[in-house]
Amino acid sequence: MQLDQITFTRFIAALTVVFFHYGNQVFPLNIAILEPVLKAGPIAVNYFYLLSGFIMAFAYFKPEQQASFSAKKYWLARFARIYPVYALAFLLIAVGKIHEPNFIPALVLNASLLQSWVPEYALSLNSPGWSLSVEAFFYLSFPLLLLIIYRTGLKKLALFAVIFWLATQILHTQLLNSPAYAPHNTVHQFIYYNPMMHLNAFILGIIVGVLFKQQHPLIQSLKSYSGIGLMVTSSLIILLIAFQQELSSFIGFNIALTNGQIAPLFLLFIIFLALDRSAFSRLMSHKWLVLLGEASFSLYILQRPLYGIYQRVIATRIELSETMHFYLYLTLLIIVAILSFKLFETPARKILRKITAS
């Protein structure tokens, strides 16, 4: 079963992260109702984690072949998937920061994908890299989680996942509303960047991925409603993101949709899209949209170094409006991401696999 129709959603999610970082004031983000939706980058990162768990479960969950699971091939595949472009991105930034204080600890933590565990270094060097540090922890956890499913079944892990999800949401909300919280302080860094605060999304994604792979009756019962399900879940997700601040004001305390609070809706969206076989899914499976989705990792991880290069090389030489500069940068970023995927990311992955296999 192919899931090409999901691939393009990674590009959309990555795009909101770019808008969040660099397009805050440009059209159409200067339209109040659209701003929170188009720059929902932190929430989109949570979608990445859910989707990562779902896709990895879909790819690796094979009860009939569990004895043939190769740890070596698994680790190589994961390393080859993210590290070459990740390393390129943080090294491009590191070149310009070599004389800054704490450069060596930042370099070591980024190179070892451990920066998200140390609050003051979570956003060091290439700031989007914190999410890859979190993802690396998920990769480390995945074989153990898969083994638990094989040995004890899915129900126990599913029960743990729900309890862990609830506990994470309570802890996040309490800390977010506590006197100890302030933007960018240690508490902020912990609740937004620590891998343990995002693990709930990854595990939930795995569980739903296994159910989907098993063609569980509960999942299959949703097949007839995939079209309406996509519309409803998409609409609810957009409305929640658009009116998050108003919702916080209404209930009397701050909420954040970034650490899994919106996970149930995202998971339903993923299920409905994976089940859908309509013209919409065929459109989403078009080769050019799939290519953009495949290039989304390069787009995400290269956004900051390319922005720095753009500001130094192009923005200082061409007089344009802020909006025009942003969209010119975005166009170049998309082109660079596609080229990176085709000419660097994919070849590097193949080379690493050949070296290890030899």
Q: Which pLDDT tens digit goes with each residue over 98-152?
A: 888 889 999 999 999 999 999 899 999 899 999 999 999 999 999 999 999 999 9
- Length of the chain (residues): 358
Cα 271 to chain centroid distance, Å, stands at 17
Is residue 217 domain-resident? yes
Calculated CA dihedral for residues 48, 50, 56, 62, nearest 10 degrees: -170
pLDDT of residue 314: 92
Q: Could you count the other beta carbons within 10 Å of the beta carbon of residue 3?
A: 17
Q: What is the mean pLDDT of the chain?
A: 91
Q: Does residue 300 lie in a domain region?
A: yes
Please write the tens of the pLDDT for every residue from 217-251: 999 999 989 999 999 999 999 999 988 888 888 89
For the residues 50-70, what does the mean pLDDT come to? 87
Name residue 191's amino acid: I
Is 77 contained in some domain?
A: no
Position 77 confidence tier, pLDDT thresholds 50, 70, 90: confident
In a domain, 281, yes or no: yes
Model pTM above 0.85: yes
Q: What is the pLDDT of residue 1?
A: 62
66 domain-assigned: no
Flag whether 298 is in a domain.
yes
CA angle 91/22/78 to nearest 5° reads: 45
Which residue range is the domain that position 285 belongs to? 4-61+83-357
Is pLDDT above 70 for 351?
Answer: yes
Residue written as token pair 């929170």: 36
Tell me if 284 is assigned to some domain. yes
Rounded CA-CA distance 94/126 in Å is 8
In the chain, beta strands by DSSP E? none
Number of domains in the chain: 1
Highest mean pLDDT: which range of 23-27, 70-74, 242-246, 336-340: 336-340
Domain-embedded: residue 75 = no
Q: What is the dihedral of CA 347, 352, 64, 224, to 10 degrees?
A: -30
pLDDT tens for 151-192 read 998 999 999 999 999 999 999 999 999 999 998 899 999 999
